[in-house]
Chains A and B, each alone.
Chain A
């Protein structure tokens, strides 16, 4: 089915494009697949129709938004990918795995085909804390903790959520949680082009948040943070990524990390940090995660050459958790873990559930296991807490 280009080109304001090529030049997947966002824009401008079916490479986009960051004319190239995916979604022409994830979100509120009633599995061993938080959310609390799908269900990421909960309790925050009532934030849903489902989720979630009435919200994932701050219109709520909240707690002296991660010989642990696209490039949160790492005694932070605005996407976002894309052999995460290993770091720290899973897989595939460990910053913070409690 051919898409009429004129209306979409106008709605997305593609006419501002001067074809400078910074979008495709900066696109992390352009070099390994057929995706060329600049030529897609050009076709939208000069052709009257587009056969979207021919563009399988649309599913290669990770929604890292480098193209949007780099565009000097403030065109939003990534939004074209999302809109074109929307055309495919509308008529049901989506990769099977994407369809499954979307259906699961619609039915169970999570992309992983897990049951809604199992959403509290993350709190294993700290059920009482969760019950208290749920009670607080009922009564009206100061801070609402939005756990997110992957931290709720994925066993590799669950410890991150538990560690956060421990910090909240230690500092004595008035924190609430939604338990099984919590649903997918929809960030990836929108980026996969399923606008209808996204709007439904956003409406229901916003209603739920309003019901709790918390002034502040904190998320585990930069992806949830991104959509809450940019696409929900939650004007009365201050939404934070956990790295922001914790960096502030440390700065204010409410949280002190006393456990030391250095070896017994006093050798510091070399840690490098990978900026997640949805935290760094898209939301300019570069300093807080680093401040948090540097507040951990016994940690030596070393930088990769490509850091901050130039961080390399791990290729796990924008729906890419559920679709492999057209070039599986050269996952960007492979390149990224090698860059991390080159710094001599023992730990590759991340602050995003998707990055954690994608990079950890890459470390295994590349056989770097004995050299490099991928950890969420929260897991390192947790160690500094644990060691203190043992003292």
Chain B
């Protein structure tokens, strides 16, 4: 992990045009010319696209031809192409930590108009990068072995699908479920849309497979109580059992390489919309209660089959006032399913769905919606504003709404009302978020690393998301995401090792006074006090190179590699010159 001795710097500088992105505002030839005069610079060039294959080839050739041991690329943000240029340099034997970037696009050409001033600024930025490059040290690239195995938190459809894929590769999966049984919320459903499959017939074989899989350990009545470690080597503590009847939870430590979070969702509590009178009227029920009735084949109200059944969409969804701005994505379809089933079993009943927009984006969904309507389900556009009891009739309620297509306020009498309740983040999501340091999006669901390109990854390496804990979705999407999370989680496990950051902080033991302030400020728990020697030691695998300890240390005993005082001050000096 050490740094090699500083060689005599031989620096190549490459100024990128980025087409016209940089070249239209910055005089790139002038910048390259000025760089050529800087101490240590052996060769300086400008080129249309440095990131292109010929651009990279140019760097590789120069390294060979001029014996370069430092490379400075003046182009875009390092977030964009630092890995590209590091890898190009490495191919010719230059240590990747001896590549430095000067951002003359986002921080210069894109934000300035005056060409003269922009060129001047670009020259300063390049001089600053060159100054740092002169002081760069080679750092050793490191890898650590991973512990095979994955902890999956949540035993619903998402967790089970993910655990099965992991286990089928031959690796161990630990499925942690807080309830006393597997199946999650799907177990409360009757049939699926759009295929009308029986849920028990779908779910039971799945549970069966999970329970009997030799590589899956199912931990019921269990909760994750502590998580330490990092990608490849997590130490997860599970509090197992503890159902309350004099049965204290047992701590079960698990060592795994990755974690999949599949903690699901909460169902919206309709009492938060008091205007629907959910608690006042027994014939106002939630869609989940409707699933139960459909499962039992009992739709009666007060001993009679209802003549008029109303469904209300978007209860608790698309509602900014409630803090639920999102669409729950499943209610349109399950309402189509339920209303159709009601029509089928009560052919004389008036079945009416009150909606704002009908969203049927899934495969086969629009066709399913067509079918529900063709069975005689009536759709009326306009969401219900209030429900009250029909005067003089305790078994009937009145829905007040506006039929917005007619432009008329209406009063609709119903014997049974079904509230299409939406999905909310789990009440315990905050706890999981703290345990795993998982960020959440504005809607409270867990935040994926990138909505399009890294949809199951999280900001925490080695932690992946599956199912509704990331946002509302149906069973198809849940299983697809679970399988994606399983395959992403398998990447480090299959590789067998994970690369770790080399630009980490190191303690100089002779200077360390053992005050422990580094331990207090580190967000990643990387430093720990060595009680025997009374000095701090930093776990280089946990360290992310943020530098908080280095600036805090009163003895200046901590040095952040790749951002040493010497390097940063050289950069600053060059800027103010």
Contact = CB atoms under 8 A, between A and B. Distances in A.
Contacts of B274: 308-310
A25 B382 contact: yes
Contact of B275 (A16, A26, A27, A74): A26
Given A21-B401, A22-B383, A25-B383, A39 B407 contact: yes
B106 interface: no
A309 B275 contact: yes
Contacts of B386: 25-26, 70, 310
B467 interface: no
Given A38-B402, A310-B274, A310-B277, A22 B385 contact: yes
Contacts of A306: 388
A12 B409 CA distance: 24
Given A25-B401, A31-B411, A36-B402, A73 B383 contact: no
Given A20-B383, A25-B383, A74-B320, A30 B275 contact: no
A38 B404 CA distance: 8
A26 B385 contact: yes
Interface string B145-161: 00000000000000000
Contacts of A31: 400, 409, 411
Interface residues of B, number: 31
B216 interface: no
B213 interface: no
A310 B281 CA distance: 13
A187 interface: no
A342 interface: yes
Contacts of A18: 318, 356-357
A99 to B, nearest CB: 30
Interface string A10-43: 0000001011111111110011000010110000
A36 B388 contact: no
B493 interface: no
B101 to A, nearest CB: 43
Interface string A56-91: 000000000010011111100000000000000000
A19 B388 contact: no
B382 A72 contact: no
A21 B404 contact: yes
Nearest to B357: A18
Contacts of A66: 385
A18 B381 CA distance: 12
Nearest to B390: A305
Nearest to B280: A305
A21 B405 CA distance: 10
A18 B386 CA distance: 18
B391 A21 contact: no
B321 A20 contact: no
Interface in A103-144: none
Interface in B308-352: 314, 318-322
A208 B314 CA distance: 48
A25 B321 contact: no
| Best-buried of A19, A21, A22, A38 by chain B (most CB within 10 Å) | A21
Contacts of A38: 402, 404
A26 B400 contact: yes
Interface in B356-398: 356-357, 381-389, 391
B82 interface: no
Contacts of B387: 310
Nearest to A24: B402
Given A19-B404, A72-B320, A310-B274, A24 B409 contact: yes
B403 interface: yes
A337 to B, nearest CB: 13
B391 A342 contact: yes
Contacts of A308: 274
A20 B404 contact: yes
A343 B280 CA distance: 16
A66 B314 CA distance: 19
B407 A72 contact: no
A143 B318 CA distance: 43
Nearest to A305: B389
Contacts of A16: 320
A21 B411 contact: no
Contacts of B356: 18-20
Given A21-B402, A25-B401, A310-B388, A73 B407 contact: no
Nearest to B317: A72
A-B CB proximity, top 5 nearest: A26-B385, A25-B385, A21-B402, A21-B382, A24-B402
Given A22-B402, A72-B318, 17 more contacts: A21-B383, A21-B403, A22-B383, A22-B384, A23-B402, A24-B402, A25-B384, A25-B410, A36-B402, A38-B402, A38-B404, A39-B407, A69-B275, A71-B321, A74-B321, A305-B388, A310-B277
28 contacts: A18-B318, A18-B357, A19-B404, A21-B402, A22-B401, A22-B402, A24-B402, A24-B409, A25-B384, A25-B386, A25-B402, A25-B409, A26-B400, A30-B409, A31-B411, A36-B409, A66-B385, A70-B275, A70-B385, A70-B386, A72-B314, A73-B320, A74-B321, A305-B389, A306-B388, A309-B274, A310-B386, A342-B391
Interface of B: 274-275, 277, 280, 314, 318-322, 356-357, 381-389, 391, 400-404, 407, 409-411
Interface of A: 16, 18-27, 30-31, 36, 38-39, 66, 69-74, 305-306, 308-310, 339, 342
